[in-house]
C-alpha cells in the first residue's frame, strides 16, 4: 500500500486524512522498508504536507505511542520543532518552570538536541532532573507538582522504525513537526515554535483537528522557533475554534529588541547555569525572552487574559524567586521515584 501512496504523492496528489493515517500506521508498525520510508518522506517534502495529511500522521503516531493518563483536565506544552539553526539556549524549557509556578499544569514533551548543542532532555538532565520517569510517575508529578518531562523516545518507541531513513536523508521532514504535535498527554493548550513562518497556520489547524483548545504557533522573523526578541514574530493563534494570524514585536510589551548573540546558547551544562542565573535574578536579554515566551504560555494556559498581563505575571514569578523554587521542587519530585 505504501508504494501506491508514494506514487500518488510524487504526482502531487494530496492524501485524505484516513489515507495519511494508514500510511503512517504502516511505517510505525514496522511494515515498510527503509527505502520506501525515505522515498515517502522526500516525496512529501517536495509536494508540501497539508493539514489533513499531518493530522492523519499525528493520529497514527499517537495510536502507536504510550500515552499518559492524567487527573488534570487542562494541561499545556511549550516546545519547538528544533531545526531552526538559531543556536539559542533552552528558552521553552525555562518557560515551563515559570508557567508551572503560576499553577498551570505542564507536560513538557521533548528530546535530545536537534539544531543546538542542548535539547530539552539534555539541559534538564544537567539541572538534575530524572528525564526517564515512568509514565505513572510523570502523571503524578504533573497532577501533584505541576510539571513533568516526557522523554519522546520513551513514549514513541515506534520512531525507531524511521531513525535510519531520517538520518540517511539528512533533511527536514514532516517528523520535525510531528514530534511537538504528538504529546503523549494529549495537551489542551500549546505554545508551539516552528522553523518556517509558512507552517504556523497549518500547524494551528492540525492542533485544532487533534482537539487542542488554545494554541499559539509562532515563528520569529529571524527564523527562531520561539517568540523572538530580535524582531517580529509571526503568530497563528487558535482560540474558540478559530485561527487568527498576526505579528507581534517585543517592543509591544516594553521589552527591548536584542541581537541573536545576546540569546545564544552553549552546552547543556552551560545552559543549565544560564537558566539558574535568570531565576536567581540576573537581568538582560535572556531573561527578557523567557518573560515574553512565558507570557504566551500563561495566556494559553488561561492564567491571564492577555500577553500584556502575562508579561507582568512572568516578571513577578521570576523576580519573587517562585520559578527558581518551583524548578527545585520539580527536580526533587522527579527523583522521588
Element (DSSP H or E) covering residue 156: none
How many other C-beta atoms are found inside a 10 Å radius of the C-beta of residue 79?
A: 27
Q: How far is CA 64 from the centre of its chain?
A: 19
Is residue 95 a contact partner of residue 293, using CB atoms and an 8 Å limit? yes
**Chain position carrying cell 508504494:** 3
Annotated binding-site residue numbers: 80, 83-84, 88, 90-93, 108-116, 120, 166, 225-226
* Contact predicate 238/187, CB 8 Å: no
DSSP state of 224: -
Closest CA to 154 of 118, 190, 188, 121: 121
**Annotated binding residues for 5-phospho-alpha-D-ribose 1-diphosphate, as ranges?**
80, 83-84, 88, 90-93, 108-116, 120
- Displacement of CA 11 from its chain's centroid (Å): 32
Q: How many C-beta neighbours within 10 Å does residue 204 have? A: 28
Residue 167 to residue 97: CA distance in whole angstroms: 32
Binding residues for Mg(2+): 92, 225-226
- Specify the residue for cell string 527536514: 172
CA distances (Å), origin 269, targets 92, 133, 208, 238, 282: 16, 21, 36, 35, 18
In order of 24, 90, 100, the CA distances from 144 in angstroms are 35, 25, 11
Residues annotated in the binding site for anthranilate, as ranges? 80, 111, 166
> Phi, psi at residue 102, to the nearest 5°?
-85, -5
Per DSSP, the three-state class of 241 is: coil
Q: Which residues contact 160 (CB under 8 A, 6 or more apart)?
A: none
Amino acid at each position: 500500500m505504501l508504494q501506491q501512496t508514494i506514487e500518488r504523492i510524487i504526482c502531487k496528489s494530496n492524501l485524505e486524512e484516513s489515507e495519511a493515517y494508514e500510511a503512517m500506521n504502516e511505517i510505525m508498525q514496522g511494515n515498510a522498508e527503509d527505502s520506501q520510508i525515505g522515498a515517502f518522506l522526500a516525496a512529501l517534502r517536495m509536494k508540501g504536507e497539508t493539514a489533513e495529511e499531518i493530522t492523519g500522521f499525528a493520529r497514527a503516531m499517537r495510536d502507536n505511542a504510550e500515552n499518559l493518563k492524567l487527573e488534570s483536565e487542562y494541561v499545556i506544552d511549550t516546545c519547538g520543532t528544533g531545526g531552526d539553526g538559531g543556536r539559542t539556549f533552552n528558552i521553552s524549557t525555562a518557560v515551563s518552570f515559570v508557567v508551572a509556578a503560576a499553577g498551570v499544569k505542564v507536560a513538557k514533551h521533548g528530546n535530545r538536541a536537534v539544531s543546538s548543542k542542548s535539547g530539552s532532555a539534555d539541559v534538564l538532565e544537567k539541572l538534575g532532573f530524572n528525564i526517564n520517569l515512568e509514565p505513572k510517575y510523570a502523571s503524578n508529578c504533573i497532577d501533584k507538582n505541576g510539571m513533568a518531562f516526557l522523554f519522546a523516545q520513551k513514549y514513541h518507541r515506534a520512531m525507531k522504525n524511521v531513525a535510519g531513513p531520517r538520518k540517511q536523508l539528512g533533511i527536514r521532514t514532516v517528523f520535525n513537526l510531528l514530534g511537538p504535535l504528538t504529546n503523549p498527554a494529549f495537551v489542551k493548550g500549546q505554545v508551539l515554535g516552528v522553523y518556517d513562518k509558512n507552517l504556523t497556520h497549518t500547524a494551528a489547524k492540525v492542533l485544532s483537528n487533534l482537539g487542542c483548545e488554545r494554541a499559539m504557533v509562532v515563528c520569529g522573523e529571524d527564523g527562531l522557533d520561539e517568540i523572538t526578541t530580535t524582531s517580529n514574530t509571526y503568530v497563528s493563534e487558535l482560540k474558540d475554534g478559530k485561527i487568527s494570524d498576526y505579528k507581534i514585536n517585543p517592543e509591544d510589551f516594553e521589552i527591548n529588541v536584542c541581537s541573536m548573540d545576546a540569546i545564544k546558547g552553549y552546552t547543556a551544562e552551560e545552559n543549565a547555569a544560564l537558566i539558574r542565573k535568570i531565576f536567581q535574578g540576573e537581568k538582560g536579554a535572556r531573561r527578557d525572552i523567557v518573560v515574553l515566551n512565558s507570557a504566551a504560555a500563561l495566556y494559553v494556559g488561561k492564567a491571564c487574559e492577555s500577553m500584556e498581563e502575562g508579561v507582568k505575571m512572568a516578571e513577578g514569578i521570576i523576580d519573587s524567586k517562585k520559578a527558581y523554587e518551583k524548578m527545585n521542587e520539580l527536580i526533587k519530585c522527579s527523583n522521588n521515584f
